[in-house]
Each structure stands twice: as C-alpha cells, then as structure tokens.
Amino acid sequence: MPGGTSNTGIFDIGLRYGWVLTGPHLPSFLRGRFEYAVDAEPAYLIFQPANTAYGVGFNPFALKWDFERRGRLSPYFELSGGTLFSNHSVPTYTNTVNFTSAAAIGTHVLGEKYNWSVELRYLHISNAGLANFNPGLNTVQVRVGVGRFWKGRKLGKRSSR
C-alpha cells in the first residue's frame, strides 16, 4: 500500500536510562526540564500478514521535555529515534534493518518508591531507502511503564574529616 502498511501490530519491551540536563525553564504551563535518554529494546514483535518478525531495537536518543510536576503527575513530551534489526523483513518484502522515529505525550504517576508512566506514542518504522521498496510502517501505541528516579549527586565543596 503506498504511504504505509496496514494489518500490522507491534509489541515491544524495553529499558530506558535518562539524564535530566537542565533546571526548570520557560514560563507558566510550559515550565519544565530537558531530559536526554537512551533505550534498549530487547524484544520487538511485529505481527504482519505474512509472518511475525522478532527484532531488537536501540534508540541512541530520546529528547524529552518534562513539564513541571502537578501533584503526583509529571507530564512530558518526547521525540526519539533509533534502529530496529529483525529476523524477517519489516514491512514484508523490504528489509531486516530499519530506522525508527517516534513522538509521544504522556505522564509519570509518581509513587513513594516506584513510578508508573502511561503515554500515547506515534511510531514510524522505515528502511530509509536501504531497499527499493519502502512503504514504511506507522503505528499509534499506548505504552505503560514502571520505573524509578534517582537523584544525582550534587557538585560542590567536599569536606573531609
């Protein structure tokens, strides 16, 4: 199908590590902090009409704006991208090496020790011309996660005893 592939579903599991890079910026409801993260996705299942492809992904960049906390909610907006390697062509008849790009809006639900996150994510998978046929794959996902935040050590003067 020109412009995209239909009848395809995706399930993935991943791990993320991120760093908050700035203090709070911008006024009013836009106020927040800038975060950089990397993702490892050791389990990607792509359910296609011809087969089910298994893959692994790596996103070397996730650029995230963490809006200021509102009670137990910490909303965010994110742009990310990376690569996907699979055992079958994704989409069918294309390539086993693809590139991913995504945009997401979501929120962390902060707990005492662990935090939940829920987001709505648009994901685009494409071989970027590595194969002659490149219809791409576009999905909208609802993602749920569990995580933990750690406070970094503050830089400053150390005292010795």
Is pLDDT above 90 for 78?
yes
89 vs 103, more confident: 103
Check which CATH number belongs to the domain holding 22 and give it: 2.40.160.20
pLDDT given for residue 63 in this prediction: 96
The candidate with the shortest Cα–Cα distance to 126, out of 112, 138, 136, is: 136
Is pLDDT above 70 for 159?
no
CA separation for the pair 81, 13 (Å, rounded): 16
pTM summary value: 0.81
Is pLDDT above 70 for 154?
no
Whether residue 22 contacts residue 40, with contact meaning beta carbons closer than 8 Å, is answered with no
CA separation for the pair 26, 28 (Å, rounded): 7
pLDDT given for residue 69 in this prediction: 80
Q: 81 lies in a domain?
A: yes
- Average pLDDT of the segment spanning 99-121: 92
- Half-sphere exposure (Cβ direction) of 9: Cα atoms closer than 13 Å: 3
Q: 155 lies in a domain?
A: no
Number of domains making up the chain: 1
- Average pLDDT of the segment spanning 117-128: 93
pLDDT given for residue 152 in this prediction: 59
**Average pLDDT value over all residues in the chain:** 85
Q: 43 lies in a domain?
A: yes
Q: 142 lies in a domain?
A: yes
pLDDT given for residue 117 in this prediction: 92
- Average pLDDT of the segment spanning 50-63: 94
Q: 74 lies in a domain?
A: yes
Q: 42 lies in a domain?
A: yes
Q: 141 lies in a domain?
A: yes
Q: 57 lies in a domain?
A: yes
Instruction: Note down the domain range covering 31.
Output: 9-147
